[in-house]
Each structure stands twice: as C-alpha cells, then as structure tokens.
Chains A and B, each alone.
Chain A
C-alpha cells in the first residue's frame, strides 16, 4: 500500500506565523505538514528558534513546566551547553532539585568557564534546597564574591541563623542595580520589613513582599503557599484600605466597608460617614456622596454630625433625588439629636427645610416639624408674617423679641421677607384685582409691626431698610390718592427708623427717597411713569430734606451700653470734682456691664480724672474695681488688661502705665506665679520700652520677678518673650517680691 502523502504548508505562511510570534503554531504546523519550499536547514533553524522562544516566554509568564518541555525539545534536536544550562535553571525553578544536582554534575566540569561558574552556582543551590547545607568549599571559591556571600547567607538563613545570614547578605554586593534591588528584597523578607517593589524585582520576592503573584512560577510548592500568602495580604489590604480611607488618601467602596471584618455598627456608620467626607473633600464628587448618603441614611442619622453633612451636600448639587428623604430624615434626626443642638444650628436646619419644600403636603408637614422642635421664630418670620390677614395680639411682642438679639439666621429670614416683597413688586401686574386689596391690608399690618418694633439690634439696620425699600417699591404700584394711608404709614415707619439708627437721609435707597417725593408731590412716581432716578426728583427730595432738617442732637444713641457708661462716668467724675465719695453712688447697670468691652476705657478715663482732681491714691484702683464688682483675677480682666492698656497708652501713656502697675501690685502673692501675671509684667516692661519711659525701681522689680518666675516655671508660651526680654534689658536687681 502506498504511503499516504503528507499535506503541505507554504513556507511563506509559516514564516508569517513565526514573525507574528505564534511559535506554538509554528511547531504544530511543522509537525502536521510538509513545509513546501523550505530547506531542512531552514526548518531546523526555525524549529530551534521557536523552541527557544517558547521556553523563554513560558518561563517569563511562570509556566516553568512548559518551559522545561520546550527546552528539552530544543535539546533533542540541538544539544548545546548554554541550553543545557537553561534546562538546569528550569529544573531548579521546577523544584526538581535531585534531578538538577544530577544534571548539574555534567555541567560543572564544562570547559567553558562562564558556563561552569553559572552551573556551579545552580548546582550548589540545588544541593542546598535538597537539604545539603555542607558546601563544597572548592566549588564555592569558583563563584564571584557576590554569589559566594549570597550562597553562604542563604545557607545560614536555612539553618535559622538570621543574624549571620544577614551579615553575609550585607557583604554581598552585586554590581548590577537590579540585582542589588533583589538582594534588598530578600533582606526585607527576612527582616519582615515593608518595601516598595518595582517590576524588576523577581516574582517570588514581589509575591512575598506585597502579594503580587504576577509571573510567579507555577510549581507544586508555589500553588500550595499561594492561597495562604494571598489570604494574609487580602486581610491586610482591607485594613490598609481602611487606613487610607481614614487618613483621607482614597475612598473605598461602601460594600468593602459593609463586608469588612468590622462588625461593630458604630464603626460602620463612622466609616460610611468618612467615605462620604472623602468623596467631597478629595474628589469633589458631591453627587456620588449624596447618593451614598441617601442609601445609608438610617446609619448616618444616628450621628449628630449628619444633618450638616446633608445640608452641605445638598447645597453643592442639583440632585433632586434626595428630596423625598428630607422630611423623614430630619424627623428622625430631631428625635435623636434635638437636645444636642444650639439655637443657631436648629435655625440652620429649619431654614434648609423651608427652602426645600417641594409640595403642598410638604408645607404643612415641614412647618409642623419645625414648630414641634421650637422653631416658632422661624414659623413667625417665614410663614405668619408673610401670610397675615390680621394683627394677632402676640405678633408685636414676638417680632420685637426676635429683632432685639442679632442672629445671622434670623437676618436670613428677614432678608427672605424683603425678597418676597421685591417679588411682589415684580409680579404686581400679574396680580388679580381682587388680590390687591388684601395685599394693601397685609402691607399696612407689616408696616405697623415694623414701626412699633422695640429696640431692634443695630446689625439689622441694613436688612430692615431693605425691607422698607421694597415696601416703598410695592407701595408705588398703588394710587397715592386712594391709598394715602399706606404711603403715610410707611413714611412714618421709615422716619422712626431713620431717627432710631441715626441714618443720614442722603444715604437712603432711591426707592425710599422716591416714596418721600411721591408723598410730597401727591402722586405715585411709578404710576406717573416718572423715572425715580431723574435728577429733578432727587433735587426735590434733597430740598425737602433740608427744609425738615432740624437739630439732631437728641437723636437716640443706639449703643445703649456706651450711652449708659457715659452717664455713669459723668456722675462719677462729677463726684470726684466736687470732692464727694464717688463710690457711694449706686448704678444698677454697672454690675451687668462689668464684662463689657468698653470697661477699660471707662476705668482709665475715671482714673485720669481722679489724678486730675488730685483724688488718686494707690488704693483707688482697688476701690474702683470693687465698685464695678470686678476682681483683678477675673479671667476677663486678666486676658484683656494688657491690650486695653496698650490702646489707652496711645491716648495717655502715664495713666495707662500707672493703672497697669497698680493692677500688678494688687495681685495676691499666691497668684504671682501664673502665666497671666507674667504677661502683665511683660506688658508693663514693653510699655516702658515702647514709649521710652524711664526705667525706675518699679520697672526693675517687674523685670526681676518676670525673669525669676519664668526661669523657675519655664512656661513654653513665654519662652520667646523671655529670650527677647533677657536680650533687651539688663537687670539691676529688685525688691519687688
């Protein structure tokens, strides 16, 4: 029977596969087909190259079994020492140490010195891994010093002599940088130290240092330990993820947090919170942060910090998906945390709630919620005032109470009222006629409430005048003749505030000026289509203003405290002048004002007058302080004395210096060791120096005591001052203490 002819394959096709790097396919084609047009020599060369390449690439990806198979195929057609050396290497990597020792014996007698040395190194190592730690010194000496030291170090390591092993490894100093790095990696593994691994570090070392198993040789032993090592790294990675999260290096997925070994509910909610913070702070990803907030709202609501986080998130994103959780979230939040919050924090939340009302149903629920948690002022300013149809008896008191004390959030609410009036003006033309009459009623009620406000805080001045400006705008939409009361009420109310705040009429807004001009001319400028910015109108306003200008000396001083102090001071000085006992007088308000910021100016002015009228003695300061109910040891007094004296010194340095010195000498002996007291002394010394006053006995006493006490106490906060003083002043000795 005729032999079946082998199928053929084109040489060009085979070369193309070879060039594409598909060496396995090249080998398989050669096995299956007769290659047409290719000589035996060419076929031989291409087979060798393919086996060589296959072995090398398989080894590089960690498939040492295939690499060994390929190199053996290579050797079956071309036996050469360099490739046998490669086989020896693969046998070692495959942990076939017994075979390696046998195979190595042939190579260590090679005539090629380079191959001999390399083979010797592998041969010795294969013996060591086999458990034979007794090294053949003759063979060992053939190796380079670096390899000798490594081999000795490795044997000591296997024997458990870590210190000795490290000694050899330290001595091992290969020339190539990559080898140095790999040696460092072994030392790090032995010492259990952290190391950043580059890609040039050998796969086993990289794997043992950071759990990166890329290109790790796939052997029986490596498969066995891989799971064990990776699980350790996985556990540590989770912990380092957490650390990164906590140190705000990078965020992690919420699932990682929830699936983490941290079972503690308290910690989990904190981790979720931190992750959201991280998304905001490091990545600015408010949308994702808000999404997580909504998802984990039940965890987060347990934290008192969560409300502000939510408000902050909402203020940075247009996302409306979280709208539906607002009321539910804050209902739960208030139940848990209401008692922990300050008034301003509550107001902040209340305003947020009102600003985010989206449906009619929400209005009632939101206002009920706010009312339940004490937001009556908010309800009053944001709901009751804008919608009032009659003046409830409590309104005036409520409004006066609200504006008596300044608060930023109340100011926001008043601004909101002002803005509403501005909107009414803009949309006035669209208002139905039947809505206009009730609007006038509401406006008059509001004007009346404003007019009768009792002592609104000075910080509300701008907002209140904005409200008046917008009221004036709205008024102008109504016919003056028909609604004269509205115009007059508003003008009267504005005049009350002009007097109260001492406002210069020229500085009034153009809308208010236009209102006054309208009243004067008997017609609405807006309806008459007169431009309120017309110079003639402003001229009319100014003329009218100058006509009305009267003596403003009785104008109310809105700084009540300052006003009261000036009265008390006047009486005290009068007593000093008339040789009466000033401290026999009684002023109820003085006690309440004793921690006022103007108290020092008051004291120093009185002292200056006492000196002027020759009524001052060393006990005057003590008597005055007792009279005010202040003590030199009061925290308020202690902290502000030096700076207040410094301010007054610009006006009268002698009085300032005398006062400070008398305060210093009136401090109880037992208190003269404290920082605040040394600060007084330092203040006194610097006052003398700054104003180039004579350095008398009092000065040197202060200097001596300051230095002595600071040397003993060594207050860190005074260290720099001490050095400065030592450098600046030479001590003369003192008797102060």
Chain B
C-alpha cells in the first residue's frame, strides 16, 4: 500500500503556512470523526502530531519513518485484448 506523507494525509499542498496545519487537521477530523473512521482518524492524528509535536517527530525520526512515499494517482492499466490474433497465427494447445 502506498503510504502518504503527513502533508498529503492532511491535504496540504502548494502554498500553505504552518498555521494551516491545524486548520487542515480540524477539517480532516471533522470529515473523519473517530467514532466512524477510527483508522483514518489515527492516520490523521499521526500526521498532525508528526508535523507539530517535537517528541512525536523524534520518535519517527529514530525509526526513519519520516520517509513517506508520496501518493500518485495513475491512469488505470489498459487491458490488452489480443484474442483477435488467435485467428491469424496457427497454434494448438496440444502436443502434435
């Protein structure tokens, strides 16, 4: 599974400021309250803590966990339909 960076989890992109982290956190937990989205909520809290809490940051620093991958959406792999070529080239599934 692709891990997201704390900034991505909090949907912080482009030109934001440190104070926006708290706003983004509030917005995220409003969207994912712990009662209904405990897993997502934990991710959001972890992301927020690692950006704002020195002790938490250091804990991650020790484990080198601060190297997150960045999530990139790719176009879906196009399926290759090659069945038509069965008509053109001779082959049989049996030993002959």
Contacts and interface: CB of A to CB of B under 8 A. Distances in A.
A304 B66 CA distance: 12
A277 B67 contact: yes
Contact of B93 (A186, A190, A192, A717): A186
Contacts of B92: 121, 125, 150, 202
Contacts of B64: 280, 312
Contacts, number: 165
Nearest to A271: B72
Contacts of A342: 18, 51-52, 54, 57
Interface stretch (A176-184, A491-499, A560-568, A621-629): A176-184
Contact of B66 (A189, A240, A308, A339): A308
A246 B72 contact: yes
A102 interface: no
Given A176-B95, A239-B75, A270-B70, A189 B54 contact: no
Interface in B47-69: 51-52, 54-55, 57-58, 61, 64, 66-69
A344 B34 contact: no
A717 B34 contact: yes
Interface in B29-61: 34-36, 38, 51-52, 54-55, 57-58, 61
A680 interface: no
How big is the B interface, by class? 35 or more
A146 interface: yes
Interface residues of A, number: 79
Interface string A230-249: 00110110011011001110
Given A189-B86, A225-B85, A174 B72 contact: no
B80 A236 contact: yes
B18 A273 contact: no
A525 to B, nearest CB: 39
A240 B70 contact: no
A122 interface: yes
Contacts of B1: 247
Nearest to A158: B87
Contacts of A273: 69-70
A225 B54 contact: no
Interface in A249-308: 267, 270-271, 273-274, 277-278, 280-281, 303-305, 308
Interface in B71-94: 71-72, 74-75, 77-83, 85-94
A93 interface: yes
Contact of A208 (B12, B69, B82): B82
A556 interface: no
Interface in A168-196: 174, 176, 178-179, 182-183, 185-186, 189-190, 192
Contacts of A730: none
B51 A150 contact: no
B69 A277 contact: yes
B67 A716 contact: no
Given A121-B96, A186-B86, A247-B2, A235 B78 contact: yes
Nearest to B78: A236
Nearest to B52: A342
Contacts of A158: 87
Contacts of B34: 717
Contacts of B17: 339-340
Contacts of B54: 342, 344, 407-409
A626 to B, nearest CB: 27
Contacts of B82: 189, 192, 208-209, 229, 232
A445 interface: no
A309 B93 contact: no
A52 interface: no
A6 B5 CA distance: 82
A179 B69 CA distance: 44
Contacts of A92: 90
B16 A129 contact: no
Contacts of A190: 83, 86
Interface string A490-533: 00000000000000000000000000000000000000000000
A274 B69 contact: yes
B94 A179 contact: yes
Contacts of B79: 192
Nearest to B79: A192
Which A-B residue pairs are the 5 nearest by beta carbons?
Answer: A182-B93, A204-B91, A208-B82, A344-B54, A270-B70
5 contacts: A125-B90, A246-B69, A305-B68, A340-B17, A345-B57
